[in-house]
Amino acid sequence: MEKFGSDKPDLRYDMEMIDVADIFAKSTNEIFSSIAQDTEKNRIKALKVVWWDNVFSKSQMKSFEKWVKQYWAQGLGYFQMKEDGLKWPLNKFFTEQDLQEIVDRTWLKTWDIIFFGAGKKDVVLSYMGKFRNYLAETLNIINKNELAYVWITGFPMFEKDETTGKVDFSHNPFSAPVWWFEAISDKEWGELLKVKAYQYDLVMNGYEILSGSIRNTDIKALVKAFEKVWRNEQEVKEKFGGMYEAFQYWVPPHGGFALGMDRIMMILIDEDNVREVYAFPKTWKGQDLMMNSPSKVENSLLEDLHIKLDLKDEE
């Protein structure tokens, strides 16, 4: 997330995000410096574009800023490394020493450009990650014949909604937390958000093609995990009774994964929409036109299944 702004990054090209908050903290721009003071909640990320005989005009720079604003960005800063040093709008807020530190940290070479995103952590990582992909498409630097795989691990077990303040499961509530019961038994909220889950994804070219986990088979740890998100043991029994009962008799550790074959086929034939590889794709209304579904069912078939329809309005 810190490097690519996504938990399913496309690694067919570089353009890793670089943290520069400590440098911006010394800026004379109060907006930048105040954002940089709180590195727990905020981020200032740099995204370098290597010069590929592409010179962006001022109108293009403005179009980039407009593009990121659709994803709640407040703006988009930038520098370009010219023959006589780092140039453009943000220079006036930094000392020569600070500008050189930016050059050194981002490994800038002549005519390279760096873009900056600043603000709330989740917002910055999201729009800068999307902007990374957008730039790669714009510059046409993606090798369409390459398959780039990456395993994603270390998913957080819990997450906090910044709007409501509520803590809930971030992914699968039945995944085992790392260190199991000890990981969650006596944790305070701040520590709880640092607990990782035994979950994993396999990503190919920016798409998740496999997802899985090790199941939480320790019934005490499972109940405790639900209690941490304000659900008691009785609720676990009522909603997940079969699992709760089975785990009383000890279950050996186990896990698995599901593979998205349709998504893999979409990537292999270079399609942008998974509907193109479905045998029977649904419309936006959820209708299957090939199978004429949903449609009325014959009464004889309903009788076989002991189902009766009470249609008050057949229109």
Distance CA 314, CA 271 (A): 40
One domain for residues 159 and 84: no
Within 10 A of 111 (CB to CB), how many other CB atoms are there? 16
Q: Is the pTM value of this prediction over 0.85?
A: no
Bridge partner list, 306: none
CB 216 within 8 A of CB 222: yes
3-state secondary structure of 119: strand
Of 76, 104, 139, the last residue of a domain is 139
Domain membership of residue 92 (yes or no) is yes
One domain for residues 28 and 131: yes
pLDDT digits (tens, 9 = 90+) for 126-162: 999 999 999 999 999 999 999 999 999 989 998 887 7
**Is the model's pLDDT at 314 over the cut of 60?**
no
Q: What are phi and psi of 255, to 5 degrees?
A: -165, -170
Domain membership of residue 270 (yes or no) is no
Compute CA distances 90 → 77, 94, 114, 177, 222, whole Å: 7, 7, 11, 44, 51
Domain membership of residue 298 (yes or no) is no
Domain membership of residue 155 (yes or no) is yes
Domain membership of residue 268 (yes or no) is no
Domain membership of residue 294 (yes or no) is no
Distance CA 259, CA 174 (A): 19
Q: Which of 43-52, 135-144, 289-298 has the lowest mean pLDDT?
A: 289-298
Domain membership of residue 69 (yes or no) is yes
pLDDT digits (tens, 9 = 90+) for 181-238: 565 666 665 678 888 999 999 999 999 999 999 998 888 888 888 888 888 889 888 9
Of 211, 244, 259, the last residue of a domain is 259
**Which helix or strand (DSSP H or E) is residue 115 part of?**
strand 113-120
Domain membership of residue 10 (yes or no) is no
Structural domain total, the chain: 2
User: What CATH code is carried by the domain that includes residue 113?
Assistant: 3.30.1360.30
User: What CATH code is carried by the domain that includes residue 186?
Assistant: 3.30.930.10
How far from the centroid of its chain's Cα atoms is residue 77's Cα? 23
One domain for residues 38 and 119: yes
Of 91, 107, 139, the last residue of a domain is 139
Residues in contact with 89: Cβ distance below 8 Å, sequence separation at least 6, in sequence order = 77, 78
Q: What pLDDT shows up at residue 310?
A: 82
One domain for residues 123 and 173: no
One domain for residues 199 and 123: no
As a whole number, mean pLDDT of residues 257-282 equals 90
Q: Which of 111-115, 210-214, 294-298, 309-313 has the lowest mean pLDDT?
A: 309-313
Parent domain of 91? 17-139
Q: Which of 62-71, 79-88, 114-123, 145-154 has the lowest mean pLDDT?
A: 79-88
